[in-house]
Structure formats: structure tokens, C-alpha cells
Amino acid sequence: MQECDANPPGYPIVRRIRHLRTKRYLSAYIDDEVPTRARPGVVRHLSECPECVAMVESLRSARAALRRVVGQPVDPLAAGRIHRYAVSIDDAAGSSGGDGFAQS
Ligand SMILES: [Zn+2]
């Protein structure tokens, strides 16, 4: 079977599969830890998927917020909200019962 890289119109299932595949790597992407073999596909998908781009921006914002509070006393209420947000991101990234991190 030959796989077409062009993501042709009329094949939304192909886009959907790439979307789901890419979502697994978004956390690794913002940490620049996407496996070399997967990186071109992730970058290509991000050039065509506003939903994944928005998720990357959201992850970066959350990461930046966490960096700002590191070393400062943590409000338990804020910690709970951050934890719930992280769990929701992990769920949205397509974690399938694992730890939410892409396997390399
Ligand atoms: Zn996507």
C-alpha cells in the first residue's frame, strides 16, 4: 500500500488520522522532543490544522504560567485548577490509558 503525503481533498479520514496522530506529540513538540522520524509529519500537520495550533499555544501558555509560579508558594486552589487543566490537555491529546507522553 502506498501512502500519499499530500493529504488530498476528498480524504477527510486521512486528515483525521493525521490529526489524532499529531495530537499525541503536541506536548513533546513544545518541548522539542518529538522523535526525529515523526517530526516532519507533526510540522506538516501543524501547518494545516488550526485546532492543533491552538492546542500548542494553549500548552505553551500553561507551561509559561507554570514557570512563573515555580519557586513561589503555590495556592492549593490554583494547584488544583492547574492539575485539572493538565489532565484535560492530556485527555485532549489522545492519551489512551498511558501516561500521556509519546513513545519514541
Ligand atoms: Zn490537528
| CA–CA separation, 89 and 54 (whole Å) | 12
pLDDT at 22 over 60: yes
pTM of the model: 0.57
pLDDT at 54 over 90: yes
How many of the other CB atoms lie within 10 Å of CB of 64? 9
Give distance in angstroms: CA of 100 to centre of ligand 1.
17
pLDDT tens, residue by residue, 32-44: 999 999 999 999 9
Give distance in angstroms: CA of 27 to centre of ligand 1.
13
Instruction: Output Rg (C-alpha) for the chain, integer angstroms.
Output: 16
User: How is 19-65 classified by DSSP, letter by letter?
Assistant: HHHHHTTHHHHHTT---TTTHHHHHHHHTT-HHHHHHHHHHHHHHHH
Give distance in angstroms: CA of 19 to centre of ligand 1.
4
Any idea where the domains of the chain sit in the sequence? 12-92
pLDDT tens, residue by residue, 60-104: 998 888 888 776 766 778 778 887 888 888 777 765 444 444 444
pLDDT at 48 over 90: yes
Give distance in angstroms: CA of 49 to centre of ligand 1.
5
Give distance in angstroms: CA of 68 to centre of ligand 1.
28
| CA–CA separation, 65 and 71 (whole Å) | 12
Give distance in angstroms: CA of 52 to centre of ligand 1.
4
Give distance in angstroms: CA of 64 to centre of ligand 1.
22
The per-residue pLDDT for 74 is 66
pLDDT grade for 3, boundaries at 50, 70 and 90? very low
Residue 45 in contact with residue 78, Cβ under 8 Å?
no
